[in-house]
Homo-oligomer: A and B are copies of this chain.
Amino acid sequence: MCSSKTPETARERFARNLREKRLERGLSQEHLADLAGVHRTYVGSLERAERNVSIDSMERLASSLELDILDMLIPRSTR
């Protein structure tokens, strides 16, 4: 879908995977935020790669999506 060859930063990878996995599950940002115990606007800012998210938060969000933290960092090129 995206033909850019610019490597993603880790933040951008996490942002893209978070959004993709959330949408695959049919969850709104608000619903995911409730599941993970974070604020709705925080999920939005993570999906825009605006925040320097911590490993604990990454793990909590992954668990809320029933995924491993590794699934949240899959590079674009290997999808």
Contacts and interface: CB of A to CB of B under 8 A. Distances in A.
Nearest to A59: B10
- Secondary structure of the A side of the interface? helix
Interface residues of A, number: 18
Copies per complex?
2
Contact of A52 (B10, B14, B54, B70): B54
Nearest to A57: B52
Interface in A5-37: 9-11, 13-14
A75 B69 CA distance: 10
A50 to B, nearest CB: 12
Interface of A: 9-11, 13-14, 52-56, 58-59, 62, 68-70, 73, 75
